[in-house]
Chains A and B, each alone.
Chain A
Amino acid sequence: MKINGVLIDDTFAEAFPMKATRIIITAMNLKWAHRAANAIRGFASSVIACGIEADIERELKPSETPDGRPGVSVMIFAMSVKELEKHIPTRVGQSVMTTATTACFSGLDSDKKVSMGKSLRFFGDGFQISKVVNGKRFWRIPVMHGEFICEDTIGVRKAVGGGNFLVLAKTARQGLTACEKAVDAIKKVPGVITAFPGGVVGSGSKVGSKYDFLTASTNEAYCPTLKGQVKSELGVDIGSVLEIVIDGLDEESIREAMRVGIRAACKFGPKKGIYRISAGNYGGNLGPHLFYLRKLLK
């Protein structure tokens, strides 16, 4: 199968179950909402070492936020509810509460919830105020800029992490140009994020390592400099491989994100150095969600 001359490998991306939540960060203006959101998504590229994966989902108009101010929605993924419980209060506390004029709310309705304001309220040192409005509990924590307003809990739901595809290009520059367009296209799909910096992974990994203390290590089959040393998946013309990893609220949203992302990358074609699209899988051992490239692009 080829799209615009770009070969689509007959393979599949392998994704795994995760738990997801969505927070809404509002502020005096979008600039400060983005500052808070960027802080919370910093060091949140992969659960391998960061504990969570997080990214900005989209900007929100004042009419879409609980307090009528401009904001952004941030989606956060983790391997378990316990991990979310551990990371949400610390990340919101250190990244959002510290950003001037911000407030933080739940962006996901669910019966299953994790603490947010419920934990952060103690920063108020006894001066915090609880308010129940419209069936939801909010905390007003007095801070030096005024008050930090935070919803008591946030909803958590089942999700899918690790949807992916690989862009095999002649050079890193050409690969990255195509990936940027692919990420732009993916950002328009609701319910998905690409948590790595800029949405692109420069150092995709495989599961395990020759070293016992590592759970993940370089994916040597796709490293251009290891052609000849290992059983490489790359032909002589491939000089760079970049990966786009997608987490989503469900399989369908990941499928749609992969579809639009691959099509956007393929628009560049072999003349602009994009030769192949492949995907990362571990023989079906990593997770139950399999996204066959050729099937989803039909």
Chain B
Amino acid sequence: MTALCFTLKHTPKFTLDVSPLTPDNLEGKTLAKIKRLPLVYGKETVNVDELFSVKGRNAEEIRIEKSCNKLMYVGQGMTKGSLNINGDVGDFLGQSMKGGTITVKGNSGSWAGNDMSGGRININGNATDYVGGGLPGDAFGMRNGLINITGNAGDRVGDRMRRGIIIIQGKSGDYCGSRIHAGTIIALNKVGKNPGEGMRRGSIILAKRPVHISATFKSNGNLKMQFLRLLFTQLAAMDPEFQIFNKYGPTAHRFSGDLARNGKGEILILQIIDKLD
């Protein structure tokens, strides 16, 4: 069966809530029924076929073509299947996602992976602020799953995250891993100011020393962290793309903090060395 494909007919003027376009929601529906599904467009409601041309049958595998940053809530609450987007997406990509895979070949708006508790989001482009972060008033950000960004990320990556892994292969903004409760953030390029500000637990793994580390982090010196071996080996086993971690050894400069909260988190600054060392 061919993938169920939604091609945007023209760039929407207003934000478009595409949260109904998930494998869970479209499973078992006929093409005609899918075309008549209502979508919230600005202040109005429109049918899917007013904005998208739709073809294909396999709702387990959905494609959105010619996407743009007006498309909000892409893959909201999905639990299975795959969602591939060619083009940019707006805010709240994969919000409350529990399973499955979302792949964006483009850039993402803010709060990608907000309230996520499983599955995987791949952003083959840049993401703006609050990746995996919680909304104001939320106790937690993402609670499980994996977000992989090949480009850059904005500020406050993983804000208040509870569990899960965020990998940023490009640059990260300020306050990366702010207020995290637990979980793992890996940033493989430059990082802005004050990573881990207010973190309770969790690990922020940086390939480069950040612009500034808060005074509330205490250096533990260079340590051989066996956990890094485990993490990188497991990630490489998950996806060949993560073989990129093979060049990092287990030795890292460890900072524990944020001591202003309870100091049980850590910032690990990786060192490229011989793994056999």
Contacts and interface: CB of A to CB of B under 8 A. Distances in A.
Interface in A123-138: 127, 129-134, 136, 138
Contacts of A69: 226, 229
B226 A134 contact: no
Interface in A107-142: 127, 129-134, 136, 138, 140
A132 B226 contact: no
Interface stretch (B131-139, B207-215, B234-242): B234-242
Interface in B143-175: 144, 163-165
For B163, B184, B201, B234, the residue with the greatest tally of chain A CB atoms inside 10 Å of its CB is: B234
Interface residues of A, number: 20
A130 B181 CA distance: 12
A147 B234 contact: no
A68 interface: yes
Contacts of B237: 134
Given A103-B226, A146-B226, A147-B225, A133 B264 contact: no
Contacts of B223: 146
B231 A133 contact: yes
A157 B229 CA distance: 29
A66 interface: yes
Interface residues on B, range: 20 to 34
Contact of A149 (B165, B227, B232): B227
A172 to B, nearest CB: 45
B226 A66 contact: no
Taking chain A's interface residues, is the majority helix, strand, or loop, or is none over half, making it mixed? strand
B238 A147 contact: no
B229 A67 contact: yes
A285 B118 CA distance: 50
Contacts of B201: 129
B226 A133 contact: no
Nearest to B231: A133
A287 B166 CA distance: 52
Nearest to A69: B229
B2 interface: no
A134 to B, nearest CB: 4
Interface string A40-65: 00000000000000000000000001
Interface string B28-70: 0000000000000000000000000000000000000000000
A147 B231 CA distance: 14
B224 A131 contact: no
B260 interface: no
Contacts of B165: 133
A78 B268 CA distance: 41
A65 B226 CA distance: 13
B224 A146 contact: yes
B230 interface: yes
Interface of B: 144, 163-165, 182, 184, 201, 203, 223-227, 229-235, 237-238, 264, 275
26 contacts: A66-B230, A66-B234, A67-B230, A67-B233, A69-B229, A103-B230, A127-B264, A129-B203, A129-B227, A129-B264, A131-B227, A132-B164, A133-B165, A133-B184, A133-B230, A133-B231, A134-B235, A134-B237, A138-B227, A146-B223, A146-B224, A146-B225, A146-B226, A147-B225, A147-B227, A149-B227
Given A68-B232, A147-B226, 5 more contacts: A66-B233, A67-B226, A103-B226, A133-B230, A134-B238
